[in-house]
Amino acid sequence: MVALKYVTYLAFGALFLSIAGALFLQYQAGQLRSNFLNNAEQLANSIAQLSEQEEGSTLLFQLSIPSGMSIEFENESLLAFFDGKQENFSGGTVVSGPPLTAGDYSLLLSKISTGVKVDVQG
């Protein structure tokens, strides 16, 4: 009888730990997504600020993109892709650059005559 009580406690303990673990993983994924979108918005704001500078002006930008997420540049928009969804951020000018997938990047933003060009350094 006592053994059955301990088995029941063990089962409820395992269930509790499983639920707590799942909630923690969900929270952590939400934090990654939130940080990614904040960084994408900061990059778009940096592009918009650089667009108001003289041609030839440059700016370095550090960016980390988590697994399963990416950024693309299209016309005047920065497109952030995550969880099968897309978020658009306006750069305020025509922006061109390569698609960026998961990884850490050092980006060189350059003001050119037609807008802003994004290059990956290194």
Each residue's pLDDT tens digit, 36-75: 999 999 999 999 999 999 999 999 999 999 999 999 999 9
Residues linked to residue 74 through DSSP beta bridges, in sequence order? 77
Is 120 a residue whose pLDDT tops 90?
yes
Average pLDDT over the chain, rounded to an integer = 88
34 is written with which tokens?
Answer: 């939130």
117 is written with which tokens?
Answer: 């060009």
The pTM of the whole model exceeds 0.85: no
Look-up: residue for tokens 């673990």? 21
Query: How are beta strands 115-121 and 95-96 bridged, if at all?
Result: parallel
Is 22 a residue whose pLDDT tops 70?
no
Predicted local confidence at residue 98, as pLDDT: 97
Predicted local confidence at residue 29, as pLDDT: 61
Four-CA torsion 19, 20, 23, 27, nearest 10 degrees: -170
